Amino acid sequence: MATKATKTEAGNYFEDFRIGQELVHATPRTVTDGDVAMYCALYGPRFALTSGASFAQSLGLSRMPMDSMLVFHIVFGKTVPDVSLNAVANLGYAAGVFGAPVYAGDTLTTTSKVIGLKPNKDGKTGVVYVNSVGKNQDGEVVLDYVRWVMVNKGNADAEVGEAVVPELPGAVGVDQLVVPFDLTGKEYDTALAGSPYLWDDYEAGEQIDHVDAMTIEEAEHMLATRLYQNTAKVHFNQHVQAQGRFGRRLIYGGHIISLARALSYNGLANAMTIAAINGGTHCNPTFAGDTIYAWSQVLEKLELPGRTDVGALRVRTVATKDLACADFPYKGEDGKYLKNVVLDVDYTVLMPRR
């Protein structure tokens, strides 16, 4: 009797990936004002540039752009069915550069290239490195970044090659940053932005406790992950996850990044937009019911070539669960992340100068 063919997709397992493999991800996504409103409802960001059209126009933009992390989520979500449908966990990010601003009505697509593969010692999983590029309907790059993810093997006995781990930069170069607005000769309204502190007022090494916190609700994280068309099983299928290591669904790591970014407003209100993601680690898992706090450290103050109106800050933001950040929790004496630390992300923001 002939085997019945299936028309469904099981997703790629670790042994299905090859170095240099090109992946064209399905389902173009047109972003709308509804996406902006939903993003605000989920995370509560208050950055003026991506909250008010008139404020954005005062900085020389034609319209209000989408929040950088909303763009990230949509570009990322396209990759999941091909890259991380069978993931154990998303591990980290590097070399992320945000390009052309994204506006309501733009249509985004994503492609990826496999740039690294590393089998794990357990023989059941491996780490896949991909370079993903999101573009708008005009072919302009809106985000170019690298991420790596631990993926299950479909067949534990499948032969896999030697490890190939890509060399990645420690940070995005200042000459690679895209600055889509112009403050020259324009008045930047710090009152409307919500803080008097500009680029000149920050110092390398400075630490900021963002004070506020948000508790993750089950419905919110599932709604958010569906909004970005992220189909990873670990976020949705409690029937399967009940039998797994944690016995429950994991929160999508990008959900934590957006919560931390929103919380960072209290102390970094004039960090108008994220220009680069230099690196990032999801240190420990998060679940519904966890309360997220955050603190940040200014790693570098960067002058932009040929610009005196805008500067860049390289910032590390650390998010914790069920642990306030007044004493800036991070790593223990053994060099390992504390169990309540769930995110360590290194990124570059753009901020007005005096």
User: What domains does the chain contain, in order, with CATH numbers?
Assistant: 14-183+195-352 (3.10.129.10)
Percent above pLDDT 90 for the chain: 71
Residue whose C-alpha is closest to residue 312's, from 207, 197, 174: 174
Whether residue 186 is predicted with pLDDT greater than 80 in this model: the reply is no
Supply the pLDDT for residue 182: 82
Whether residue 2 is predicted with pLDDT greater than 60 in this model: the reply is no
Q: Work out the angle at residue 75's Cα, subtended by the Cα atoms of residues 70 and 77, and round it to the nearest 5 degrees.
A: 95
To which H or E segment does residue 116 belong? strand 107-119
Dihedral of CA atoms 267, 269, 270, 276 in degrees, nearest 10, equals 90
Supply the pLDDT for residue 9: 81
Q: How confident is the model at residue 4 (pLDDT cuts 50, 70, 90)?
A: low
Neighbours of 95 (CB within 10 A): 20
Supply the pLDDT for residue 3: 56
Q: Count of residues for the chain?
A: 354
Q: How confident is the model at residue 229 (pLDDT cuts 50, 70, 90)?
A: confident
User: Which amino acid is residue 351, in one-letter code?
Assistant: M
Question: What is d(CA 285, CA 248) in angstroms, rounded to the nearest whole number?
Answer: 11
Question: What is d(CA 276, CA 68) in angstroms, rounded to the nearest whole number?
Answer: 9
Mean residue pLDDT of the chain comes to 92
Q: How confident is the model at residue 69 (pLDDT cuts 50, 70, 90)?
A: very high
> 40-49, 146-155, 230-239: lowest mean pLDDT where?
230-239
Question: At a CB cut-off of 8 Å and minimum separation 6, what does 259 contact?
Answer: 43, 214, 216, 292, 294, 319
Q: How confident is the model at residue 342 (pLDDT cuts 50, 70, 90)?
A: very high
Question: At a CB cut-off of 8 Å and minimum separation 6, what does 288 contact?
Answer: 216, 217, 218, 221, 248, 249, 251
Write the pLDDT tens digit of every residue in 107-151. Answer: 999 999 999 999 988 888 999 999 999 999 999 999 999 999 999
Neighbours of 189 (CB within 10 A): 13
Question: What is d(CA 324, CA 311) in angstroms, rounded to the nearest whole number?
Answer: 30
Burial of 113 (0-12, 13-18, 19+ CB in 10 A): middle
- Grouping H, G, I as helix, E, B as strand and the rest as coil, residue 47 is coil
Look up residue 127 and give its two tokens. 């780490």
Q: How confident is the model at residue 232 (pLDDT cuts 50, 70, 90)?
A: confident
pTM: 0.91
Supply the pLDDT for residue 161: 80
- φ and ψ at 111, to 5 degrees? -125, 155
Look up residue 233 and give its two tokens. 């099983």
Whether residue 348 is predicted with pLDDT greater than 60 in this model: the reply is yes
To which H or E segment does residue 343 belong? strand 341-352
Supply the pLDDT for residue 185: 60
What is the pairing mode between strands 214-215 and 291-303? Answer: antiparallel
Four-residue CA torsion sign, 55, 60, 64, 68: negative
On whether the CB atoms of residues 125 and 190 are closer than 8 A, the answer is no
DSSP assignment of 51-82 equals T-HHHHHHTT-SSPPPPHHHHHHHHHHHHHHH
Question: What is d(CA 148, CA 151) in angstroms, rounded to the nearest whole number?
Answer: 9
Phi-psi region of 194 (alpha: psi -120 to 50; beta: other; left: phi over 0): left
Task: Say which DSSP state 229 is in.
Answer: T
User: Which amino acid is residue 279, in one-letter code?
Assistant: G
